[in-house]
Amino acid sequence: MRPRVILWDIMDTLVRDPFFTHMPGFFGHSFEDLVARLTPRAWVEFELGRLSELEFYARFFRDGSAIDGAGLKQHMAEAYVWVEGMEALLGELRERAWPMHALSNYPLWYQLVEQRLGLSRFLELSFISCHTGLRKPAPEAFLHASDQLGVPPEACLLIDDRAQNCDAAREVGLAAVRFDGSVPTLRQALTQYGLLDVTAQ
C-alpha cells in the first residue's frame, strides 16, 4: 500500500541532535559524565511539556547546581544543522505534493530548529511531544497522529532513526522505515513505496 502521509522524526533523522554532540561541551563534560549528573526524567518531562524552560533549568542537575539556561539554549540553537542530503530530499517530496508532518519527541526548543532551518517549508510541525503530551514509542503517539489526520494507521509511513519507535509504529499498523544515517538508502526505501521516481537520485 502506498502511504498517503509521511511522518518524520526530527532529531537525528532530519536534523543533527546537539544533545549528544554539543550539550556536554557547554558544561565541560564528556557525554557520560553529563548524563551521570542529570536529574532523571527532567528532559523527558521537558519534552512532554510538563516543565517550563525555567523549571527545566532548575531541575537540570540532580544536585541542584544552577546553570546558565539562556546560554545553553543559545548554544543549542547555533548547533542545529541538517542531516546531509535531507533538505534536498524533503524538497523533492514537497514538489511531489506528499503530505508530510513531524512526529517528534522534543521540547519547545523545536521552535529554535524552525527558526534556524525552516522545517515548515517542507512539512507541518503537527505532532511535537511538548504539545501533544505523547512520546514515541507509546502507541498513543502514533494513533493520535493518524486520528488527527483522518487516515487509518496503515496509510502512514514513519521515518525515524530509532528502531524502537519503528517497531512500535508497526505494531499499531503504520509502515515504518528506520533511518540509518544514509540518505541514499532512505531514497531507495521511498522509491519502493512509490513516493519517489526510480530516477530520482
For residue 122, what is its C-alpha cell?
A: 517542507
Residue 201 above 80 pLDDT? no
Round to whole Å and give the CA distance between 141 and 79.
27
Query: What average pLDDT does the segment 23-29 reach?
Result: 95
For residue 72, what is its C-alpha cell?
A: 545553553
Round to whole Å and give the CA distance between 1 and 20.
36
Query: What average pLDDT does the segment 88-107 reach?
Result: 98
Question: Mean pLDDT for the chain?
Answer: 96
Whole-number pLDDT of residue 197 = 87
For residue 98, what is its C-alpha cell?
A: 506528499
**Residue for grid cell 524552525:** 114
pTM for the full predicted model: 0.95
Whole-number pLDDT of residue 94 = 97
User: What number of residues does the chain have?
Assistant: 201
Whole-number pLDDT of residue 1 = 75
For residue 152, what is its C-alpha cell?
A: 487509518
β-sheet bridge partners, residue 160 = 178
pLDDT digits (tens, 9 = 90+) for 133-174: 999 999 999 999 999 999 999 999 999 999 999 999 999 999
Collapsing DSSP to helix, strand or coil, 7 comes out as: strand
